[in-house]
Amino acid sequence: MATIEEALEIERLERDIFRGASTKTQLPRTFGGQVAGQALVAAVRTVEPRYQVHSLHGYFLRPGNPDQPTVYLVERIRDGRSFCTRRVTGVQDGAAIFTMSASFHIGDQGPEHQDVMPEVQPPDELPDASTTMSPERLWAMREWEHWDIRTVPQDQVARRDGVVSQQQVWFRYRHPLPDDPLFHVCTLAYMSDMTLLGSSKVTHPDEQTQNASLDHAMWFLRPFRADDWLLYDQSSPSAGFGRALTGGKIFNREGQLVAAVVQEGLIRTLRD
């Protein structure tokens, strides 16, 4: 399947209009992480290099057709001395399938603190998901064959009082990536949509549901590399009315909190 370089490839058509590549996939609709990642790449292409993206907020409006490219329209909302903002709309067949606001910052000095990474089994002691996946789920490993994904067993997850549904996943890109920090940010935007909604299914493992991402927000807090191990510490504080709220903190192996994610997703019970 597609490499991350292929999945994030976009072509500039006009000053603020880009076309994202469609890639080979087994999915019936365009993977949300690919749309978010390509949209962020488009926004980055319109910003001076001294600005670094620090947050994005996106809405998945319609299912994308994976066999068609997506066109991204970038609006230059604000260019300030310290911050700039872009709005990106992904379009297929004349209809918006995704919209995103992204904010960029030059970086300043200020107080520093962060939550502590939970004690968790290191990735080297966990099996590669491609060796443990059930036969009916092996398609997922073929779809994302370039990612090394290792889920912490539920009986070994570091439990927090009052948190009802938790999941912890180590992941990294299997191959060396370019040194450009913004490429790693866009790669993480792609990856952050993967596995997160699954944290809402931990307490309902046998219930058959239809699942889809509805909205997605990320904050990029510290530098990182997506080809080094990252821990995705996930939880779902609420599910109901066919929707689930999920969130995740992403740590590097040294325990630095590098990103945070919040997502609401469709989790609708399938009826016979």
Q: Give the active site residues.
A: 193, 213, 263
Query: Which residues fall within 8 angstroms of residue 100, CB to CB, at 6 or more apart?
Result: 36, 39, 40, 43, 56, 57, 58, 59, 87, 88, 89, 90
Strand partners, 104: 53, 84
Q: How far apart are CA 68 and CA 72, in angstroms?
A: 13
Q: How far apart are CA 72 and CA 163, in angstroms?
A: 38
Q: How far apart are CA 260 and CA 210, in angstroms?
A: 25
Which residue, 139, 138, 136, 198, is CA-closest to 166? Answer: 198
Cα-flanking dihedrals φ and ψ of residue 47, to 5°? -120, 145
